[in-house]
Structure 1
């Protein structure tokens, strides 16, 4: 099995990254709650991820891609310490894509975002906002390569890391990288739960 090539994303990668993350999160409980219709979700998610990458994450220069044979199979969207909050300008530039993608469900997405912000840790840290692999390559070492790439840097910097797991089944996976559960965020109105996870530098 060929090694996974990890590199920083460029603007030219955005369309492919959006497609990969859209497929990765198609069966995600939070995304299914936000956009219940399968066909609509398949169209919406690449738009949502594309807007987030283009207007926020690329500017933080911490989007990493995992590739084999030149094809992107996975991506991790990180925010450096102190940079996890989207600016009003970034939010304004993302909103047309969000409205197009989510329609009337955009309010549900904004409510979720506000709840996550309210529960976000204050201590400076690297924030793993999104990590996902195309279902076709799961089990191929992409996630491991992406996690190791940034967490090794966190350890070198002495910086903690934080994430929210939207699938309870993924919690043990993150624990193998040194994360521990610190809390739960449950969406209102019978929505899904997210597990807050924190990692001290090794």
Structure 2
């Protein structure tokens, strides 16, 4: 009998999905180079710390739209995006994020602040939708899940007629985003890790 993968189902997540989305972001981004630099060499620690931080971010940022892809009832991909004018966390969210970061210890907390400040400094001034965080469960990469999320995202951008913007520390992700209309507008090494800043022009 032919084995078929369960269908992929795309939907907008709500606040009841935050814990599951944050856990996926922790798992899916654990091998990101900047996360290794910030959170340390132990993968279990990286997963736990980033999932914890993402839970604070998602629950403290009501302006975020969070798209999710499910397969067989399990969440396998997540893409969050902030609307124009809301890409930087508000004061309450920033305080909660800093407070959570401090629990990781002084070294990780300091490196987390360095990373976030560097990314914020590159944020473009024109109205834009800011994409991120984005992740697919690592064992399911290359199966169209990220493409499905990006098609939803770029369709939304085109309906608004505004620019898109994102950051990535994954060199293999640069080409992926370029295929969806983004172009590198800046590069910077942060904590010893190359980072790329990308813009998609309004259509």
Report if TM-score (shorter chain) is over 0.5: yes
Q: How much has 1:121 moved relative to structure 2? A: 0.5
User: SS of 1:37's equivalent?
Assistant: coil
Change (3 A) 1:153 1:102: farther
CA contact (8 A) 2:101 2:108 kept: no
Give structure 1 regions of 4+ aligned residues with deviation exceeding 6 angstroms: none
User: SS of 1:196's equivalent?
Assistant: strand
Q: What stretches of structure 2 of length at least 5 have no aligned partner?
A: none
After superposition, the C-alpha distances for 1:156-200 in whole angstroms (9 at most, x for unaligned) are 221110111211121111111011111112215xx2111111111
The root-mean-square deviation of aligned C-alpha atoms, in Å, is 1.5
Q: How much has 1:96 moved relative to structure 2? A: 2.9
Q: TM-score, normalised by structure 2?
A: 0.91
User: Using the alignment, how far apart are the partners of 2:170 and 2:190 within structure 1?
Assistant: 13
Which region of structure 1 is more displaced relative to structure 2, 99-108 or 162-171?
99-108
| 1:45 maps to which of 43, 50, 57 | 50
Q: What stretches of structure 1 of length at least 5 have no aligned partner?
A: none
Q: TM-score, normalised by structure 1?
A: 0.91
Q: How much has 1:100 moved relative to structure 2? A: 2.2
Q: How much has 1:20 moved relative to structure 2? A: 0.8
User: 2:75 maps to what in 1?
Assistant: 72
| Alignment pair present for 1:180 and 2:156 | no
| 1:13 maps to which of 17, 22, 32 | 17
Paired residue total: 198
| Alignment pair present for 1:196 and 2:200 | no
User: Using the alignment, how far apart are the partners of 2:16 and 2:106 within structure 1?
Assistant: 27
User: 2:165 maps to what in 1?
Assistant: 162
CA contact (8 A) 1:43 1:101 kept: no
After superposition, the C-alpha distances for 1:64-96 in whole angstroms (9 at most, x for unaligned) are 111122211010111101101111111112333
Q: How much has 1:103 moved relative to structure 2? A: 4.7
| 2:146 maps to which of 143, 146, 167 | 143
After superposition, the C-alpha distances for 1:35-71 in whole angstroms (9 at most, x for unaligned) are 1231321321211111111112xx0141111112221
CA contact (8 A) 1:44 1:102 kept: no
User: Using the alignment, how far apart are the partners of 1:131 and 1:170 within structure 2?
Assistant: 11
User: SS of 2:81's equivalent?
Assistant: strand
| Alignment pair present for 1:115 and 2:118 | yes
